[in-house]
Structure 1
Amino acid sequence: MGLLAGRIAVMLALATMPVLPGVAQTVPGFRVDDPRHAQLRALDEKATTLFENDDFAQSMSQKTRDAWAALHDKAMKVRVGNLPHPLAGVGLIKLGSMDQIEGKNPSALTHVDKGLALIAPFRDTYPISWLEGMSVKGYVQSIIGDVTAGAETLAQASAYADGYFARVGPKALSEADYMLKSNIAFSHAQALSRLGRYGEAVDAQRASLEARTTSLGPNHPDTVAATYTYAQMLYRAARLVEAEKYARLAVNIATDHVDRKHPSYHRSLEMLGLLLARTGRRAESLDYMERSIAIKRETVGTKSLFYHFGLYNMAGVLLPMERYSDAEPLFLEAERGFRAIEGDNSPQGARALAFAAVASAASGRPEEVIERTRAAMDRVRTPTASDRDMGQRVYPLLVPALIATSQPGAARAAAADYLRETRQIDDAPAFALANAAMMAAWAQGDGAVAAARQMAGLLRESQSLDDDGDLNEDQRAALDTILKIAVQANDPALALDAMAILAGSRIAQANRLVAERLVADPALAARVRTLQDKLKALAKADSALLKALATDKDVDAARAARSAVEAIAEAERAAIARDYPRWIEARGGIRPDLATLRAGLAQDEALLAVMPAFDGVYLLAVDADGATVERTGLGRAAMVALVDRLRGTMTPGGFDRTAAHDLYAQIFTPTILARLGKAKALRIVPTGAFASLPFAMLPQRPVVTIDRDTPWLIRRFAIEVQPGFATGPAAPQRIAMRNQSFLGVGAPAPFAAGTRPAAPALLAANHYFRGGAADAAALSELPSLPGSLAELRAVADRFGSDRATLLVGAQASEAALRAQDLAPYSVILFATHGLVSGQMEGVTEPALVLSPPSPGTGDDGLLTASEVAAMRIGADWVILSACNTAAGDSAQAPAYSGLAQAFRYAGAGSLLVSHWPVRDDASAFVTLETVKAANRGTPRAVALQKAMLKLMRSGRADAAQPYIWAPFILIGR
């Protein structure tokens, strides 16, 4: 049951609780059943009867209020010794309860404070009423922003309840007693969680769940609510496996035992969705969120807090997916709903507005950021409330917006407030302290680079701790600030630090399941746990150092302690990198070094990183002589829109020439081109939307018509793409040094025909999995690839029948592939459908479609990335001549879907993959020409460049059109 509904049930049940025998009385001689007070008891019974009315409107009517007020007024005139009768306090507490239920929080706090003062001398005679008043008081204190006071009030109530329950024993306690105890523990857990005291919050919520189970049984809707809330607290305490266990338990119980119309039904769906989102499975989570909102709309209506919390939560899932245009209207609708229900100063409405400001910032609207963040701050900072949580949310948005709008004085003031308030937070995490310090230094214009470098180190450590390498919005915004500082200071090394974290996050997300498969090795798993323990110790040392710097106390000792812990952690990380390099690579790699990166460049080679962060896109150009960092003139949102526009026109007869050149002009600025100098080969490290952009087709000058002489970027550079900042030489040219042999896999047998409509143009992996397994019906929708067999045979003929093996038709199966020793083959070509995934959802991962499996084999016909990573491949080339094997299914997909990278982990030298469905004759042409040139000793990027240019000049139909020649990319390192 939700909090408000739960309180209504508790208050109705507790209204006539009897005083149990043997309870101590603070006021000597006082008796509840004193005949002199019969009239008061009659008033109490009258008010209770009204309050217990099954009709909610009647129970909360003015008539009920008048009855409680009459009890208070009459009891104030009856003296017990020199004190008013305690029923005066009971009446006020009940009025406060009604106020709280209706969202009238200031009035509720006034009533319960006065009521508790009146009942305090009689607390042990009216323990339930006193606990009810403390419960309302603590909850309201927390909800209006005084969280520390609320937690203390609820801690006192919990301690008293524990003592009272132990004193009277279970036989003397009713279901309602346990419900009240559960509600107090619940509110206490919520307050502790807001204070960041997650371990204590878990214990409090566990107590709430146990009391609720005792009162109502394990299958009651309210017990389901306590179960999914316990899962939430476990998640916040980083106990993820337990959290998912209890979240799924709540959904299962709700599905089997709870009416669909009950709030616990939709809330259990929502909580599981949130948990999946927070563990990196956002696309999977959206299904649960959407189902929950649909049920809320049907059962509780659009004027319910439940409904608006659903919108708020779903928008929160969309934000880290960079679906800002989808998230923003949901936050704004939720904000309007919260204000309509809770009043203009609704704290939750303020938070929704603050999150809408995140969308404003990411979309490059700083004036709107300022307006929304200041409005959110004003709403929670009333004369009776000060919510530091809001400051932590809005200052990191407000300070950059003020700087962007040329308001340096206001930026300095806001940054100073941010730093001061963060230092006042008990047990403030290292990230918050470092971010506040960085913002203050940046706004002041003094020490920003050092503060940014410290922040980058913290984020790198956090990324190593996170199992899927995900970055939240706060972390991405912090990285954006680091990159802004790097651009202002012209500090390429600092920019490289931040960019490596961004690239590493994308790699780790794309390869989450690959990393899980690798870490299944018990020896590696133990090493990883040891490393994480050391990184947690380093995080604590970071926090201690930041606190010392803030107070200017024991700084040298804190710095020395941190250095010692860091040395231990780095030694362990280096040891794992030495012993398990594939795991390190799958997790995003180690910290790159600018000097090493430059030293790893070949003669006439340069590197260009193109990184969207939060509101900006950043460029890092590196050659043998130095490095340059810049920010694009257009913001992230506008740049992503250009990429989307260009990709949306990539059809055989379409190409947005203006968007293509605009992208070229934004990325290849005069400063960047000057750094790239006379380089003939270019290594590109793109992330986010730019991982779906074939740079080869960007025109160097505005284009009116497309022909064989159009000045594409591929004419200027031989291009190789790499997911991250790997150092060292390119894959060795081994083909000429051994017997060439070829394995071709493709033209698989189709899955049995289904009844579904034609397949969508985009081959998104989520469409082809159901319940964690391949969906044969969905796979049957895939169109045939009539040219794939001809392509495989053409390449095989080039090698000769004695050195070529083909697995085609029914033989293009997982079982047949496993039976092959893949080590001897120098070139492996897959000509089949490739399925990609923008978000790595459970077992839904990138895959190649093979033939349907034979019954009983345990196969599903999909060769997934994690299965590929477990192979042992010796090929110099793996060619994925398949639909959509380069990038994911959205502009924000992880770099190259994880599928291509999995082949790298399996031992492949270089990979040739495609960005979109490729025409069969063009694929065969590019494949053959690239391999032939590489066989003659031509560098691989140059071999692909020459193959593309030769195709343009070949005279084949439409060969000059970028749709035909541009999808191919070379992935190296």
Structure 2
Amino acid sequence: MRRAPVPVAIALAAATLLVGAALGASEGEGNGYRGVWIYRHEPIWRWQDVEEQLAEMHPHHEKRQEEIARSRALLDEVRRARGDASADTARAMELLARSLWNSRASIDEVCSLAHGALAIRRRLFEEGSPRLIPGLLTALDCTTRKEAVGETLELSREVRRIVRTRVRDDTFASQILHSVARALKTCGLYDDSLETLFELERRLLAAGLGASEDLAKTYYEIGKVWLFFLEDAAEARHWYDRAADVVRAGGYEGTRLDALIVNSQAVAAHALGDVRRALDLYRRALRIREKVLGPDHEETGQSWNNIGELLAGLGRLDEARAALERALENWTAVFGPDDQALGYPLTGLAEVALASGDLKRAEEMLVKAEAAYSHSDGANEALHRSEIFGVLALVEAKQGRFDEAVRDAEAAVDLAERYGRPESPTYAEAARVLALVLAARGGIAQSLPWLERSALASRGHLQQVLKLLPETAALRYASEGVPALDQALSLLFRGQTTLEAAPWIGDEVARSRTLLLDSLARRRRAASTADPALAVALDDARRVYAAVLLAGTGRSGEEHARELERARRAYERLAWKAAEIGRALPAPEEITLAEIGRALPAGAVLVAYVRYENPPPDPAEAFAAPGAHGPAAYGALVTRRDAEGQIATAAVPLGPAAEIDPLIDRWRSCVAGARSRLGAGRSCDAAGESLRRRIWDPVAPLARPARLALVVPAGAIALVSLPALPAPEGGFLLEHGPTFHELSAERDLLEGDRRVGNTGSDERLLALGDPDFDAGTEALAAANELLPEIGSPAPVAKVASARPAMRGLRPPVTDLGGLRFTPLPLSRSEAEEIARLFRERTERERAALVLSGARANEAAFRALAPRFRYLHLATHAFVAEPSGALEDDDLTPFLLSGLALAGANRRSQLRASGSLHDGILTAEEIAALDLRGVEWAVLSGCETAAGVLHQGAGIVGLRQAFEIAGARTLVATLWPVRDDAARAFMEELYRRRLDGMAVPDAMRDAALALLRDRREAGLPDAPETWGAFVASGDWR
């Protein structure tokens, strides 16, 4: 049946959002309408959008042609009734233009209507009239899609001027400025888009609308610019969290807006690698949407798509496929079979197929996804097309179709360059894929510049993001590393390129090694200066979190879990707030391997180990699904300076980590337990020789004739004492040279005198030994009241004899709540003897302070340590394994190691009394101290140099914590050490150090002295007693 014509006035009213309150009475134009037509600027298929749809807009594909037909009929009727130059005609033209946009019609027809409507309005209304806004927005839509940057800027500025001066209604202003910001963003004018949104934020806050939906949407839009266009997930998370705060303050929980903000928080968490939090948030958004919008709504489909993408990344392919197919079915029903919204689930299904080895289906899905996205000219869709072309190139390369792969990889780079930032992850990945397929086609030399560009982009992005992340999130995000650098190292150590052809490889190794820990250290120091109150609050929250984690006794598992979650949330909230301080930090200095080589001391060689992901050499096997990791391998970069001052670096391949890491574990286990097993010496020698042949013998010829080897460890090699390995000529490397000293990174050679000390410290020693682990609240309080004034010598307690104890927990630690510590009586005499030596050498009676018994407590150490130049800590240490209850993505590895101080065995009672000092000083808490005035710190406990192996930061534990806190040189242990052996080594070490020996020489001579003593006494010379000690940091 033929539909009756819709009267013009009714049709126009249906297409109009009445905003009469927004316009002054003087703005009446005599046409009977007191408002303007405001429509949703971006199409519904932009799945991340927030705005609700107006009733007259029909996103469902089966209604689009009907909508266009009605709009054309409406325009014809209006022209007959009102002529070609009326305001109603302009409105009808704008409505038709919008309908045509929805159907992907010809841009020429749409722009003709848009500019024609604006021309009519300009003839009818004065400059600056709000009645120009609908025409300006329609024309803005056109210039945006044509990528006419100059016109887009001009039109957007005109709209902003009108809103600023003539629009009084804040909600109306919010709708207009959101449209302007989205147009600017789509055209690639990101700074202008953010400026528009910040202007709106100021207006809404000034109007007292701090808990309004408009402000929540504004923060959402700011976050979207950062996440989807500037590709900065850390910055985006900040704005999404602010939007969520507004949602809570305004009472909008459980609404469509709440679901959108929660979904956005999940997207940011997903991008930052926090997959557990992301999955929880995605599912929460899905529950809200299914309840509020129904299972068939397009936003519900969006939730299924996001969940599918995350599950695919976790390797849960069947679940991912089901979720993505559900999203595809939903969006096909809503948008039609050709809409670009389908590009999202199609891409996800392609990656699932690729991970499953179904190359044919993967390629089919990718081709469909690219075709869907090609309907759009937007920047975000262009970046998605770049990703699709990159994955398509991998699929083609995996089949040996290298020419096609290069073509598609080049298309990916072109789109990423045109629409993204040079340091964006999209550009980094596109450049890396192009390098991969060029190398596979035989163009190694052609691939190297693209690997360099990718590595620079990845590192630049990491530097920017890590500045804005608290420790846990930063550690998680940094684990992805710099993939292009791994690829370049693979080529280098296979001999397919050289450092002469690609010197940037050595530079990037040095620059990337300390990205994470340096970022954490710089931000911690900045926080203590920029916002001392926040720094104190964060420190308290950190200690509460650590104390709850370490308590765990006397309560049910559920009760402890709830308390731990509350403490974690409180700590994370402050940690994210403190991370904001990193925004203003400048980028670190760029260093080069040549510069490092010039800083080498005379007679020294630099041996920088690297652990990298090493894809298979066969191109047919080298292309995995995006995000997949290859097997790890080790190599070394050996840098020397000859007599003429020429710098030379050689690359030495060492082999797969799967072969070397077990050798390290076997040797460490052997030497640490040699005392208890008959014939262990011969077994340890065999294990040590196997290990030496893999990690030192290939390097040794290049290290000769250097007297000093400065070693930068990587991966599990950080757990090896090179001097303790058996030498080819008999004995140990300790005896035959060179002298070894560890650096945390290559840049340690450049820092030296540039390290800024804490002027509050002076030439004094703080020695701590034999803590009373069973001390209670009253004993600790009394001890601190009696603590001598700083500088006064403490009374010496004589210990006649005691059974030597192990300074550590021998069985693996898997439950921090169950930690118990046994007394260390000989550690008291060790501390006293070192204090005596210190006083003798300095001829100052007040040069040393000893803390023992109940006085060796956390409160005393935290207060005193920053005021001393030298620290000596003789106590138990622990390193927990990240397994079982401790295997948690939200648990920083800095909480898995620490030192035991007075009261440690009664930490639950101490905490119950309200004390923040629980007798355990975790690496997390140590890293928060200001120890920049500490020149020398000795951790005379078991395995104080050990820690948790982290992909992005190496071994994370006490050693790294003291480095972050600012200590210049650290002496620690790699395996459990007997109380008497530790005391003997430390006395030998301090005598030499106080006589002026450099750190490496003092360490070597002290170990040699113990080794000679054992041989002269007819005792086994296994390195268990003398080889566990390692020094790192400043070698002078």
- Interval containing the TM-score (normalised by the shorter chain): 0.5 to 0.7
**Aligned equivalents of 2:444 and 2:112: distance in 1?**
51
Q: Decide which of 178, 181, 188 is 2:183's aligned counterpart.
A: 188
**Aligned equivalents of 2:156 and 2:967: distance in 1?**
59
Q: Decide which of 779, 785, 807 is 2:821's aligned counterpart.
A: 785
Q: Answer whether contact 1:403 1:411 (CA < 8 A) is retained.
A: yes
Q: Answer whether contact 2:897 2:947 (CA < 8 A) is retained.
A: no
1:785 Cα deviation after fit: 1.4
Q: Decide which of 402, 409, 416 is 2:403's aligned counterpart.
A: 409
In structure 2, the partner of 1:869 is 930
1:725 Cα deviation after fit: 0.9
Query: Which string of whole-angstrom CA distances, capped at 9 and with x for unpartnered residues, describes residues 449-471 of structure 1?
Result: 67766777777777777773978
In structure 1, the partner of 2:248 is 255
Q: Does 1:490 align with 2:482?
A: no
Q: Answer whether contact 2:940 2:972 (CA < 8 A) is retained.
A: yes
What is the identity percentage for the equivalent residue pairs of Structure 1 and Structure 2?
A: 11
Q: Does 1:299 align with 2:288?
A: yes
Question: Size of the alignment, in residue pairs?
Answer: 809
Q: Does 1:600 align with 2:592?
A: no
1:499 Cα deviation after fit: 0.6
**Aligned equivalents of 1:747 and 1:391: distance in 2?**
64
**Aligned equivalents of 1:489 and 1:623: distance in 2?**
17
Unaligned segments of structure 2, at least 5 residues: 1-10, 35-51, 469-473, 533-584, 614-628, 643-647, 677-683, 754-762, 778-808, 839-848, 883-888
Q: Answer whether contact 1:931 1:943 (CA < 8 A) is retained.
A: no
Q: Answer whether contact 2:605 2:710 (CA < 8 A) is retained.
A: yes
Q: Decide which of 211, 221, 231 is 1:219's aligned counterpart.
A: 211
Query: Which string of whole-angstrom CA distances, capped at 9 and with x for unpartnered residues, describes residues 390-417 of structure 1?
Result: 3554667777887787665345434554
**Aligned equivalents of 2:120 and 2:460: distance in 1?**
54
SS of structure 2 residue aligned to 1:971: strand
SS of structure 2 residue aligned to 1:229: helix
Query: Which string of whole-angstrom CA distances, capped at 9 and with x for unpartnered residues, describes residues 83-124 of structure 1?
Result: 799989978977997999xxx764799997798689678668
Task: Give runs of aligned pairs for residues 551-630 of structure 1, distance below 5 A.
Answer: 591-594=591-594, 596-597=596-597, 600=600, 607-612=607-612, 617=633, 619-622=635-638, 624=640, 627-629=649-651
Query: Which string of whole-angstrom CA distances, capped at 9 and with x for unpartnered residues, describes residues 160-194 of structure 1?
Result: 75577679753xx695x4464244135225425xx
Q: Answer whether contact 1:744 1:796 (CA < 8 A) is retained.
A: yes
In structure 1, the partner of 2:712 is 685
Letter in 2 for 1:724: A
1:889 Cα deviation after fit: 7.1
1:607 Cα deviation after fit: 1.3
**Aligned equivalents of 1:114 and 1:152: distance in 2?**
18
Q: Does 1:887 align with 2:947?
A: yes
Q: Decide which of 190, 194, 198 is 1:198's aligned counterpart.
A: 190
Task: Give runs of aligned pairs for residues 643-722 of structure 1, distance below 5 A.
Answer: 668=695, 675=702, 684-687=711-714, 690=716, 694=720, 721-722=742-743
1:498 Cα deviation after fit: 1.5
Letter in 2 for 1:619: G
Q: Answer whether contact 1:350 1:375 (CA < 8 A) is retained.
A: no
1:497 Cα deviation after fit: 0.7
Structure 1 residues 959, 518: closer, same or farther in 2, change over 3 A? Answer: farther
**Aligned equivalents of 1:209 and 1:508: distance in 2?**
34
1:729 Cα deviation after fit: 11
1:252 Cα deviation after fit: 2.9
Q: Answer whether contact 2:97 2:110 (CA < 8 A) is retained.
A: yes
**Aligned equivalents of 1:622 and 1:138: distance in 2?**
59
Q: RMSD value over aligned CA atoms?
A: 7.2
Structure 1 residues 151, 904: closer, same or farther in 2, change over 3 A? Answer: closer
Q: Answer whether contact 2:945 2:973 (CA < 8 A) is retained.
A: yes
SS of structure 2 residue aligned to 1:785: coil
1:622 Cα deviation after fit: 1.1
In structure 2, the partner of 1:909 is 969
Task: Give runs of aligned pairs for residues 158-197 of structure 1, distance below 5 A.
Answer: 158=156, 162=160, 170=168, 177-178=172-173, 180-188=175-183, 190-192=185-187, 195=188, 197=189
Letter in 2 for 1:879: L
Structure 1 residues 742, 816: closer, same or farther in 2, change over 3 A? Answer: closer
Q: Answer whether contact 1:835 1:885 (CA < 8 A) is retained.
A: no
**Aligned equivalents of 1:266 and 1:607: distance in 2?**
53
**Aligned equivalents of 1:64 and 1:454: distance in 2?**
47
Structure 1 residues 518, 395: closer, same or farther in 2, change over 3 A? Answer: farther
Q: Decide which of 310, 329, 349 is 1:340's aligned counterpart.
A: 329
Q: Answer whether contact 1:605 1:623 (CA < 8 A) is retained.
A: yes
**Aligned equivalents of 2:318 and 2:238: distance in 1?**
33
In structure 1, the partner of 2:521 is 511
Structure 1 residues 514, 66: closer, same or farther in 2, change over 3 A? Answer: closer
Structure 1 residues 329, 108: closer, same or farther in 2, change over 3 A? Answer: farther
SS of structure 2 residue aligned to 1:881: coil
Structure 1 residues 250, 721: closer, same or farther in 2, change over 3 A? Answer: same
Q: Does 1:80 align with 2:79?
A: yes
Structure 1 residues 376, 640: closer, same or farther in 2, change over 3 A? Answer: farther
1:199 Cα deviation after fit: 1.5
Q: Decide which of 812, 816, 820 is 2:857's aligned counterpart.
A: 812
Q: Answer whether contact 2:939 2:971 (CA < 8 A) is retained.
A: yes
**Aligned equivalents of 2:836 and 2:261: distance in 1?**
60
Q: Answer whether contact 2:301 2:330 (CA < 8 A) is retained.
A: no
Letter in 2 for 1:256: A
Structure 1 residues 292, 598: closer, same or farther in 2, change over 3 A? Answer: same
1:259 Cα deviation after fit: 3.7
Letter in 1 for 2:222: Y
**Aligned equivalents of 2:385 and 2:164: distance in 1?**
42
Q: Which stretch of structure 1 is more off in the superposition, 676-685 or 289-298?
A: 676-685
Task: Give runs of aligned pairs for residues 760-771 of structure 1, distance below 5 A.
Answer: none
Task: Give runs of aligned pairs for residues 28-43 of structure 1, distance below 5 A.
Answer: none
Query: Which string of whole-angstrom CA distances, capped at 9 and with x for unpartnered residues, describes residues 231-250 of structure 1?
Result: 55578889999988755543
**Aligned equivalents of 1:364 and 1:375: distance in 2?**
18
Task: Give runs of aligned pairs for residues 251-650 of structure 1, distance below 5 A.
Answer: 251-268=244-261, 289=278, 291-301=280-290, 325=314, 336=325, 338-343=327-332, 350=343, 375=367, 378-380=370-372, 382=374, 387-390=381-384, 392-393=386-387, 409-410=403-404, 412-414=406-408, 416-417=410-411, 421=415, 446=445, 468=467, 476-484=482-490, 486-487=492-493, 488-491=496-499, 493-516=503-526, 591-594=591-594, 596-597=596-597, 600=600, 607-612=607-612, 617=633, 619-622=635-638, 624=640, 627-629=649-651
Letter in 2 for 1:910: L
**Aligned equivalents of 1:617 and 1:357: distance in 2?**
30
SS of structure 2 residue aligned to 1:792: helix
1:221 Cα deviation after fit: 3.6
Structure 1 residues 835, 68: closer, same or farther in 2, change over 3 A? Answer: same
- What's the TM-score once normalised by structure 2's chain length? 0.57
Q: Decide which of 719, 744, 761 is 2:769's aligned counterpart.
A: 744
In structure 2, the partner of 1:724 is 745
**Aligned equivalents of 2:393 and 2:826: distance in 1?**
57
1:741 Cα deviation after fit: 8.8
Q: Answer whether contact 1:73 1:88 (CA < 8 A) is retained.
A: no
Query: Which string of whole-angstrom CA distances, capped at 9 and with x for unpartnered residues, describes residues 913-964 of structure 1?
Result: 45xxx65x64764574476468578846657987999999999xx99999x9
1:227 Cα deviation after fit: 2.6
In structure 2, the partner of 1:551 is none
- What's the TM-score once normalised by structure 1's chain length? 0.60
**Aligned equivalents of 2:491 and 2:772: distance in 1?**
52
